[in-house]
Amino acid sequence: MTTATLEKLALHGGPRTVPEGTILPWPPKDASDRDLVLASLNGTNHAFGPNCIELQKEFAAWNGSRFAIATNSGTAALHMAIAACGCGTADEVLVPAYSWSSSATCILHHSCIPVFVDIDFDTMLIDPAKLEEKISPRTKAIVAVHLHGLSADMDPILAVARKHGLKVIEDACQAHGALYKGKKVGTLGDCAAFSFNQNKCLSAGEGGMFVTEDESLHRNAQQLWSFGETRAPSESRDFHAYALGWMYRTSDLPAAFARAQLRKLDGYLAHQRRAVSRLAEQLAGVEGLLLPPQPDGRVWNGYNYVIRLDTSHLPSAQDAGAYRDRVVKALQAEGVPATVWQKFILPSMTVFRAQNGFGAGHPWSHPLARPVVYDPAEYPVAQRHCDTHFCIINPLRMPNGDAAVDAVARGIHKVMANLANLD
């Protein structure tokens, strides 16, 4: 890095490292996106139309999945996975203590009870060594979240699941194209959910996909997806609700956008991996930063580059979050689009701690439920990660190139060289 790292922080009136307009927005769009979306707009079926059907086929082929169901969100696909796996009222589902809220609220959506498991600090993913201590006679499934585009350690997770007769649901909402021992995520457990939200590697604005190899799980998920019916919207429908269902289908316009973006996804992922490597090389050895590893046998998709601050020199661990926030504020002033991805571990969120999801304490108050306590202090690793992390996302994605990555690296170097001047 140059002597610019020693300049006055932009926070205090110094020059900004990353000029306005350097970081371009995601996702990039071209004529192929416009052609498919306009063709859909000019068509006659704007509900579950032909692009929805083709998207299911194309995504299944791309991911190597036997069955795929196009949904209106990744959260919907997760709820479908919970239902497909036969989880019912007051059943327990294990889920990491640090993730997006819907990794666990999807469990509540089917009147089941989330039970949290602490994470491994290095990978930021559920710690397989801590699964068995959380299993009870009510446990029915494990949600393995491939957070930030890195696969969870699936072999030991699957071993625990098979030992105890549990289903494994992959939350692959951020992990399109991530690999575990040469296999794509979404093909490792019993079923999986992907998201096509705007910030995902495959963006359709909104949308998602449920995938599985199991015909019975596919059938169960499809029933929940479409009003409790047993026939798909593309089939001859009898409009009879055979069970409680939702309306989780996507529609033709976002499906058309998703199809266009899917054709470019492999190129996006290759670009992100190169950009991540370039940024990691430039940040290697920076005092005070803990960079994310890529464990042997796992290939990251580059979704979200998560950096932790080494706060070991602070007088109290209670200061970690405030210290991190000051660093992020200084980075943002330099033009580095650093973000705090999730400021709360899941067991500290009110929706779980109040234990009143549907009123009258349900599902925790159900006669079949056993007492479950949500004490954030039981998840120290998740809390340590939560308090010390910040993320870099868009600069690593197309249409941004090396210049954006290099500018971000310079901004991070500058702030880290001026930590004494933050206050």
% of the chain exceeding 70 in pLDDT: 96
Q: Rounded to whole angstroms, how far apart are CA atoms 343 and 328?
A: 13
For 325, other C-beta atoms within 10 Å of its C-beta total 14
Confidence at residue 421, expressed as pLDDT on a 0 to 100 scale: 86
Structure tokens at 251: 């529609």
- Which tens digits make up the pLDDT trace of 86-114? 999 999 999 999 999 999 999 999 999 99
Assess contact for 108 and 89: CB atoms under 8 A: no
Q: Sketch out the chain's domains with CATH numbers.
A: 3-26+265-342+383-421 (3.90.1150.10), 31-263 (3.40.640.10)
Residues 6+ apart with CB under 8 A from 342: 98, 99, 100, 386
Q: Rounded to whole angstroms, how far apart are CA atoms 17 and 348?
A: 36
Confidence at residue 237, expressed as pLDDT on a 0 to 100 scale: 73
Confidence at residue 231, expressed as pLDDT on a 0 to 100 scale: 67
- Which tens digits make up the pLDDT trace of 185-236? 999 999 999 999 999 999 999 999 999 999 999 999 999 998 888 766 667 7
Confidence at residue 311, expressed as pLDDT on a 0 to 100 scale: 85
Confidence at residue 112, expressed as pLDDT on a 0 to 100 scale: 98
Q: Which residue has the tokens 């019993």?
A: 190
**404-418: average pLDDT:** 97
Structure tokens at 20: 């306005």
Band of pLDDT at residue 279, cut at 50, 70 and 90: very high
Band of pLDDT at residue 4, cut at 50, 70 and 90: low
Q: b/e map of 373-399 (b: 16 or more CB within 10 Å)?
A: ebebeebebbbbbbbbbbbbbbbbbbe
Q: Rounded to whole angstroms, how far apart are CA atoms 329 and 323?
A: 10
- Which tens digits make up the pLDDT trace of 281-303? 999 999 999 999 989 999 999 99
- Which tens digits make up the pLDDT trace of 229-256? 876 666 777 778 877 889 999 999 999 9
CA 228 to chain centre: 27
Q: Which amino acid is at 161?
A: A
**148-152: average pLDDT:** 98
Assess contact for 79 and 224: CB atoms under 8 A: yes
CA torsion through residues 122, 126, 131, 134, sign: positive
Confidence at residue 244, expressed as pLDDT on a 0 to 100 scale: 84
Mean pLDDT of the chain: 95
Residues 6+ apart with CB under 8 A from 107: 82, 87, 93, 95, 113, 114, 143
Structure tokens at 67: 């069955």
**387-399: average pLDDT:** 97
Q: Which of 385, 391, 150, 412 is nearest to 284 (CA)?
A: 412
- Which tens digits make up the pLDDT trace of 51-81? 999 999 999 999 999 999 999 999 999 999 9
Q: Which residue has the tokens 């004529």?
A: 31
Structure tokens at 401: 């190139």
Q: Is residue 19 over pLDDT 70?
A: yes
- Which tens digits make up the pLDDT trace of 300-341? 999 999 999 998 877 555 589 999 999 999 999 999 999 999
Q: At 89, phi and psi to the nearest 5?
A: -50, 125
- Which tens digits make up the pLDDT trace of 342-356? 999 999 999 999 999
**258-266: average pLDDT:** 98
Confidence at residue 233, expressed as pLDDT on a 0 to 100 scale: 66
Strands of the 183-184 sheet, one edge to the other: 183-184, 179-180, 298-299
Q: Rounded to whole angstroms, how far apart are CA atoms 323 and 267?
A: 37
Where is 139: in which H helix or E strand?
Answer: strand 139-145
